[in-house]
Amino acid sequence: MRRIDTLAETSRRVDAGQRREKQRVLPSTSFRRVYASQHLHVSSSRASRGFTLIELIVTLSILTILTLGAIPLIKVSVKRQREQRLREVLREMRTAIDQFHRDTIGMQCTGVGTVAAPVQQPPQEGQPNRQPQQQQQPYLDPRSQVVIADCTIFSVDNPDRYPPELKTLVDGVSVTPRVQIIPTGTDAPAPTDNTVLATKKKVYLREIPVDPITGEQDWQLCSTYDSCEAGSSWGQENIFNVRSTSRETALNGERYSDW
Position 164, amino acid: P
Give yes or no for residue 189 having a pLDDT over 80: no
Q: Are residues 174 and 248 in the same domain?
A: yes
**Residue 132, domain member (yes or no):** no
**Residue 29, domain member (yes or no):** yes
Assess contact for 103 and 175: CB atoms under 8 A: yes
Q: How confident is the model at residue 120 (pLDDT cuts 50, 70, 90)?
A: very low
Q: Are residues 60 and 97 in the same domain?
A: yes
pLDDT of residue 175: 92
**Residue 121, domain member (yes or no):** no
Q: Are residues 14 and 64 in the same domain?
A: no
Coil, strand or helix: which one is 171? helix
Distance, CA of 111 to CA of 161 (rounded, Å) = 14
Greatest mean pLDDT range, 48-52, 124-128, 187-191, 235-239: 235-239
pLDDT of residue 112: 44
Average model confidence (pLDDT) across the chain: 77
Question: Which residues touch 118 (CB under 8 Å, ≥6 apart)?
Answer: none
**Residue 126, domain member (yes or no):** no
* CA 50 to mean position of chain CA atoms: 47
Q: Average pLDDT for residues 184-210, to the nearest whole number?
A: 71
**Residue 130, domain member (yes or no):** no
**Residue 174, domain member (yes or no):** yes
Q: Average pLDDT for residues 27-34, to the nearest whole number?
A: 54
List pLDDT tens digits, range 40-84.
554 555 555 677 888 888 888 888 888 888 788 888 999 999 999
**If you count DSSP H runs as helices and E runs as strands, how many of each does the chain have, helices first?**
3, 5
Distance, CA of 136 to CA of 32 (rounded, Å) = 112
**Residue 118, domain member (yes or no):** no
Torsion of CA 237, 239, 240, 245, to 10 degrees: 120
pLDDT of residue 61: 87
Number of domains in the chain: 2
Residue 245, classified by CB atoms within 10 Å of its CB into exposed (0-12), middle (13-18) or buried (19+), is middle
- Nearest partner of 151 among 167, 175, 179, judged by Cα: 175
Q: Are residues 39 and 156 in the same domain?
A: no
pLDDT of residue 14: 62
Distance, CA of 173 to CA of 149 (rounded, Å) = 8
**Residue 46, domain member (yes or no):** yes
Q: Are residues 42 and 61 in the same domain?
A: no
Q: Are residues 29 and 97 in the same domain?
A: no
**Residue-number span of the structural domain to which 13 is assigned:** 2-50
